[in-house]
């Protein structure tokens, strides 16, 4: 177990809200995902309340250099991807220093759950694309809007 994983386990044991979520890598072409955190998310699937904002943090290794990074987010409902707008799709303004190098990064974004969204279970597909439009990471994780 690496030191980061050990720290997460320790914090969980002493009562902090564990936010690391189970995810599926859906085709990270030019990077490798280490962790996906959604805060706050005390249970899985994450129950996201309408009218609230959530923090999404993806720790990943970039295996390429890239001048840009752009986030693309979809909600997958009944197998159909529905585009989901995020406030700032520019990864270079979301915790990543650009131009990117071959190293670890912490991408941090806000996921706003609008009050007009229906109560539904779905899968979020979150991609961060490099300057050749390849996925630095692609993750899918289940959520429930309540």
Domains and CATH numbers, the chain: 18-145 (2.60.40.770)
> pLDDT (tens digit, 0 to 9) for every residue of the chain, 146 residues total?
343 333 333 333 333 445 689 999 999 999 999 999 999 998 899 999 999 999 999 999 999 999 999 999 999 999 999 998 898 999 999 999 999 999 999 999 999 999 999 999 999 999 999 999 999 999 999 999 99
Q: CB neighbours of 100 closer than 8 A, spacing ≥ 6?
A: 62, 64, 65, 66, 67, 69, 130, 136
State the pTM of this model: 0.85
């Amino acid at each position: 177990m690496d030191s980061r994983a050990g720290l997460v386990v320790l914090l969980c044991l002493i009562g902090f809200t564990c936010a690391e979520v189970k995810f599926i890598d859906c085709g990270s072409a030019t990077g490798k995902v280490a962790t996906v955190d959604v805060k706050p998310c005390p249970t899985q699937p994450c129950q996201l309340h309408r009218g609230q904002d959530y923090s999404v943090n993806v720790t990943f290794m970039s295996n390429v250099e890239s001048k840009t990074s752009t986030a693309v987010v979809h909600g997958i409902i009944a197998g159909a991807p529905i585009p989901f707008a995020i406030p700032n799709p520019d990864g270079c303004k979301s915790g990543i220093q650009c131009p990117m190098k071959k190293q670890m990064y912490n991408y941090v974004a806000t996921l706003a759950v609008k009050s007009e969204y229906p109560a539904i279970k779905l899968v979020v597909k979150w991609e961060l694309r490099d300057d050749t439009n390849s996925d630095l990471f692609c993750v899918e994780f289940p959520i429930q809007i309540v």
